[in-house]
């Protein structure tokens, strides 16, 4: 067979039907005329990797006998060598063969001579990122690949066949296996390698977070019930090996339980930590316990009732206050559901003999009630109605003049414009006053104007903003108040996202010096009208202008 740049076309029939026994004859025919000189593009390497994937030992032996390179990389992601591919799929006999051929020098993901990217391909770059050489970082090895794909027998073979594995390589294998929730492999590693307490704790920190996404298996389905059971067993095992369930993790010093509580799909770790004695009331950042974290902006998803049930059953206190006097009930009112709030109320105890009734009226140290939090969260009508029916004041102002209506209108990162409208309309229907000016000279119309900026126009039609503005103006919302909050020309609705209640006061206190250095604002720059124009909210601007015109002509209501 003469050389052709399209040699891959010769190999292609085998790749299409290589899972059939009869195609070994075709492979043997290819190999009779194959040579590295005839196949400059290494197309035969695809046949080799296909045989590894299919577990075809006979085909692999045919190619090795024909002197196909045991180092040829895959053309596509993740560009593994045959040894790494065998490690990925758990092909023990193939791994033995490739190890004999390439030895310890071939154990690593191949890098260029300069120690940078592999020869080509996006996967090469990802492979380097996943296992690059560098100070304190181990290169991706066959040991790590086998460990994180839960091939304990292969890991045991690699450890036995060579005693030159570095401590860092063995540590990375343990970390990867723990991060991928591979309990069987972790058990084997702990039985064969003497890890110190720091290594065990590091693996425990990996085991309690979301399962590792493998670059070699990017389409792996999400965790199943069996995977959660494996994670639970894994966390138990690492704690029994010396891990501390009450330790802190990362630069922000989150307790492990807090991290597990906000990690996606980590109920197995959460249950294991609690069963091993982790304290659900251990204060984390800002004095928050695990229930605070579960129902807070730290959590990328809405809190799960099963997570709350687990924490409460193990003694978590829904009335424990953080540094700002916020208790988990406040967080549940903002981010949770009515069912979750009622669940937490049923577990209130301690210094509140008439709980849960008295807990409904508790405020943080800044005078904010559960209704303030529910409004700021853009909660559904059932939550708002429940709190109002429980006697909470719809017009209660906190220490710096914020009412629940102001909190509902405030722009937050976890609330949509649609939910803002719905919550505000519910509060107005129950008698909320629009005639509010906070200590920062912030009004309902200022808050409404924060939902549009030059970078992110309002996601809702202008007409709805206009209707809400007219309702607020008819209810007495001031239109001429100038607010120092937006004195800076660089201030936008996005800048103020998440600032409601006492948080707005803190923002002004921390930025007061910078604001004083700004030039004097132009006329009407800080009024609701000027703010609407800056946000490009045409309907809000029109509603305010209509009111100003009607006042000047004496037609205002």
Is 291 in contact with 343 (CB distance < 8 Å)? no
How does residue 436 score in pLDDT terms, banded at 50, 70 and 90? very high
How does residue 106 score in pLDDT terms, banded at 50, 70 and 90? very high
- Mean pLDDT, range 220-240, rounded to an integer: 95
User: Is pLDDT larger for residue 510 or for residue 121?
Assistant: 510
Q: What confidence score (pLDDT) does residue 113 get?
A: 44
Q: What confidence score (pLDDT) does residue 437 get?
A: 97
C-alpha atoms less than 13 angstroms from C-alpha of 24 in its C-beta half-sphere = 13
Q: What confidence score (pLDDT) does residue 488 get?
A: 82
Tens digit of pLDDT for each residue in 489-502?
Answer: 888 888 899 999 99
Mean pLDDT of all residues in the chain?
A: 86
- Mean pLDDT, range 257-261, rounded to an integer: 91
Residue 432 lies in a domain: yes
In three-state secondary structure terms, 273 is helix
Task: State which of 75, 99, 126 marks the end of a domain.
Answer: 126
How does residue 354 score in pLDDT terms, banded at 50, 70 and 90? low
Is 336 in contact with 303 (CB distance < 8 Å)? yes
Q: What confidence score (pLDDT) does residue 225 get?
A: 92
Task: State which of 95, 126, 157 marks the end of a domain.
Answer: 126
Residue 261 lies in a domain: no
Task: State which of 69, 96, 126 marks the end of a domain.
Answer: 126
- CB atoms under 10 Å from CB of 546, counted, come to 16
- Mean pLDDT, range 153-168, rounded to an integer: 97
Residue 240 confidence (pLDDT) above 50: yes
E-assigned strand segments in 222-270: 248-249, 254-255
Distances (CA, A) of 233 to 76, 85, 150, 181, 271: 35, 28, 14, 9, 10
Q: Which residues contact 50 (CB under 8 A, 6 or more apart)?
A: 14, 15, 18
Residue 401 confidence (pLDDT) above 80: yes
Q: How many domains does the chain have?
A: 2
The model carries a pTM of 0.83
Q: Which residues contact 389 (CB under 8 A, 6 or more apart)?
A: none
Residue 264 lies in a domain: no
Residue 366 confidence (pLDDT) above 60: yes
How does residue 4 score in pLDDT terms, banded at 50, 70 and 90? very low
Q: What confidence score (pLDDT) does residue 300 get?
A: 55
DSSP code of 137?
A: B
Residue 348 confidence (pLDDT) above 70: yes
Q: Which residues contact 495 (CB under 8 A, 6 or more apart)?
A: none
Tens digit of pLDDT for each residue in 385-397?
Answer: 999 999 999 999 9
Residue 156 lies in a domain: no
**CATH number of the domain where residue 86 is located:** 1.25.40
Q: What confidence score (pLDDT) does residue 131 get?
A: 41
Cα gap 478→445, rounded to integer Å: 8
Q: What confidence score (pLDDT) does residue 555 get?
A: 58
Residue 533 lies in a domain: yes
Q: What confidence score (pLDDT) does residue 14 get?
A: 83
Q: What confidence score (pLDDT) does residue 18 get?
A: 55
Is 326 in contact with 372 (CB distance < 8 Å)? no
Q: What confidence score (pLDDT) does residue 521 get?
A: 52
Give the domain extent around 96.
Answer: 8-109+119-126
Tens digit of pLDDT for each residue in 68-85?
Answer: 999 999 988 899 999 999
Residue 452 confidence (pLDDT) above 80: no
How does residue 415 score in pLDDT terms, banded at 50, 70 and 90? confident
Residue 162 lies in a domain: no
Residue 338 lies in a domain: no
User: Is pLDDT larger for residue 183 or for residue 39?
Assistant: 183
Residue 71 lies in a domain: yes
User: Is pLDDT larger for residue 86 or for residue 304?
Assistant: 86
Beta bridge partners of 254: 249
Q: What confidence score (pLDDT) does residue 94 get?
A: 98
Distances (CA, A) of 493 to 90, 437, 456, 532: 54, 18, 9, 10
Tens digit of pLDDT for each residue in 268-293?
Answer: 999 999 999 999 999 988 899 999 88
* DSSP secondary structure string for all residues of 31-81: HHH--TTT-TT-THHHHHHHHHHHT-HHHHHHHHHTT--TTPPPSSTT---
Burial (CB count within 10 angstroms: exposed 0-12, middle 13-18, buried 19+), residue 445: buried
Segment (H or E) for 547:
helix 538-552
For the chain, percent of residues with pLDDT exceeding 90: 64
């Amino acid at each position: 067979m003469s050389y052709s740049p399209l040699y891959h076309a010769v190999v292609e029939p085998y790749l299409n039907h290589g899972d059939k026994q009869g195609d070994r004859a075709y492979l043997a025919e290819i190999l009779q005329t194959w040579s590295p000189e005839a196949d400059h593009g290494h197309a035969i390497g695809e046949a080799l990797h296909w045989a590894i994937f299919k577990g075809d030992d006979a085909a692999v032996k045919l190619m090795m006998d024909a002197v196909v390179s045991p180092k040829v990389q895959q053309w596509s992601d993740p560009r593994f060598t045959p040894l790494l591919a065998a490690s990925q799929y758990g092909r023990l006999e193939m791994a033995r063969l490739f190890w004999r051929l390439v030895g310890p020098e071939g154990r690593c993901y191949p890098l260029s001579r300069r120690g940078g990217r592999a020869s080509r391909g996006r996967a090469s770059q990802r492979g380097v990122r996943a296992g690059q050489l560098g100070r304190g970082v181990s290169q991706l090895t066959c040991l790590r690949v086998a460990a994180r794909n839960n091939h304990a027998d292969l890991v045991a073979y690699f450890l036995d066949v060579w005693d030159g594995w570095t401590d860092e390589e063995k540590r990375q294998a343990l970390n990867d296996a723990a991060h991928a929730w591979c309990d069987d492999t972790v058990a084997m590693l702990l039985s064969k390698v003497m890890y110190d307490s720091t290594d065990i704790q590091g693996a425990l920190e990996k085991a309690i977070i979301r399962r590792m996404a493998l670059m070699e298996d990017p389409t792996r389905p999400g965790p199943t019930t069996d995977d959660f059971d494996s994670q639970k067993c894994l966390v138990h095992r690492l704690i029994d090996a010396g891990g501390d369930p009450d330790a802190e993790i990362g630069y922000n010093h989150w307790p492990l339980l807090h991290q597990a509580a906000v990690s996606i799909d980590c109920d197995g770790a959460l249950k294991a930590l609690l069963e091993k004695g982790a304290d659900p009331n251990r204060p984390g950042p800002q004095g928050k316990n695990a229930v605070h974290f579960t129902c807070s902006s730290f959590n990328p998803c809405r809190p799960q009732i099963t997570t709350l049930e687990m924490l409460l059953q193990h003694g978590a206190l829904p009335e424990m206050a953080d540094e700002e006097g916020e208790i988990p009930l406040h967080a549940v009112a903002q981010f949770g559901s009515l069912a979750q709030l009622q669940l937490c109320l049923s577990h209130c105890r301690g210094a509140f003999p008439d709980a849960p009734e008295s807990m409904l009226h508790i405020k943080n140290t800044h005078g904010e009630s559960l209704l303030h939090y529910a409004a700021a969260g853009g909660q559904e009508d059932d939550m708002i109605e429940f709190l109002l029916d429980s006697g909470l004041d719809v017009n209660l102002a906190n220490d710096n003049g914020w009412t629940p209506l102001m909190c509902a209108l405030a722009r937050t990162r976890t609330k949509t414009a649609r939910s803002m409208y719905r919550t505000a309309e519910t509060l107005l229907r129950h008698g909320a006053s629009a005639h509010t000016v906070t200590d920062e000279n912030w009004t309902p119309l200022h808050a409404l104007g924060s939902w549009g900026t030059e970078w992110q126009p309002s996601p809702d039609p202008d007409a709805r903003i206009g209707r809400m503005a007219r309702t607020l103006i008819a209810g007495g919302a001031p239109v001429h108040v100038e607010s120092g909050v937006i004195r800076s020309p660089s201030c936008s609705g996005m800048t103020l996202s998440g600032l409601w209640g006492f948080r707005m006061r803190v923002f002004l206190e921390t930025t007061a010096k910078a604001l004083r250095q700004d030039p004097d604002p132009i006329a009407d720059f800080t009024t609701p009208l000027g703010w609407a124009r800056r946000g490009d909210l045409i309907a809000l601007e029109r509603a305010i202008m209509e009111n100003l015109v009607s006042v000047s002509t004496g037609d205002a209501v």
